[in-house]
Structure 1
């Protein structure tokens, strides 16, 4: 069914959002706190002015590119506070939304990331964007126990199958994960990971992505006995596309399937990821939507997160005045 492109869709895909929140990287810089367990971060020799110009250009180009395809982008601008938030450009780590109108906030591991949580300001913006929050859930009380769950950074959701895929790590505590899964009625498929360095993958969404009919995963970093379970579970309903650890390092797993207001499907990714995918992998993905590569080289190099990390899906229903 084709919708009038001037009319916002009130139809929500079960798996894919047609609206996202993005936060401009006004305070972006190398984050020493997150670098403790994020091997994807690399410092660049740029002046503060050069860095800000580059990352704002990358951000604005991505916003314009998504909007040009009919994907609704809500820019969550904010007034900087006393605490700097170098990773605010990655909002998907502190909240998520559900079709019933719920906004949930999550406990993040690093102190300077906890300062990103601005529930009232975000709720006001979503209401002004005709995506009102009906109720809220708060899991940040787990911070008192030193336990963390960084939202869709660590939880890759199969909304159709009602499953959460999660690589356990400092930022993905099993107790908090199970508590959240129980709240929304989802099954948990949790597993360990081990990179060539011996470290764990810090966020599940850098190693895998689940779309409506496909799953991209760097399964070679999962221990064999758990790998078989993850592969078997995904293969029940998805076309499984395996990527290598080297491809994961180019953010081939940090991709996200979205839909336009007219229902057209897209797969957002970085230019680095697009260039690292093989022709066969690109062909497989194209069967599930138009590929949308964005050059976010500076953001992904310094921040250690890429396009998917920059997109916080909005599943709140569109409610016109």
Structure 2
């Protein structure tokens, strides 16, 4: 099933209809800060998911979210004994590895928010636990489910662009949301804007181009001078046959900033999301060697990426298919980011 078929299927199904006669997939969300609550609300809105409850180290916050969503409230210690099919881990990065491993070992499939953990070594433990338990691990990647990005991928898969030659992208936000929060604490976050924002575009670049074999990048602090992690980063990623993806991220962009371009042998495409539309962006493309520049504007479509991602995740589980991006994908992305952090300014073979 194509990614864009998810939206079509949602329009054709009633809100309470189950997929293919199968049971609804019971889900508990671990960590209900701002993003965790978004995940929990998306489960409630999904066609195939049933939100059993939420858990958080802060029991008062868990109780407030549980009350708003009319679901159960659990402590972190008790949640692994609950009857559920899926756990969605949306805590600060430091806790992703231990919570994900406990969830997998308790017999649950896991959707873990990006980045999968602090570094590749920690992610590898998660991937190994997934293999050992036979349970699926998926990295959260809601940017794949922006309507504009899904449309760009559909155009690419149609063959209009020919073979991909290169990728150039920029992403970020104004930094105010993460200012002086746990995102600034390297012990908890693992890194700054490259890990927070850049991983989205690295994932999208791999989705279009495949694996990379070489990386060079730099990080710096340009605006948030007191921030212990980088507020600006740029990476150059090279495939075995020399194709390049150039990706930059920054915590001093416009809020919700996203823009990327893809050059092909027969065409060109750009996703323009520079103005905080979160998926309601414009897509421009030129294909099949022609000169006509076409445009589709998705500004009228309300943001729905978290729900679409969960629908696709649940459909994969229903069909016994590995959800994407997988834990292995997350491990490769983390390895690319680690290479920049450890070798700032130096070229590294992956």
- Could you state the TM-score of these two structures normalised by the residue count of structure 2? 0.28
RCO (CA 8 Å, sep 6+): is it higher in 1 or 2?
Answer: 1
Q: Which has the greater radius of gyration?
A: 2
Q: Which has the higher strand share?
A: 2
Q: Which has the higher helix share?
A: 2
- Could you state the TM-score of these two structures normalised by the residue count of structure 1? 0.30
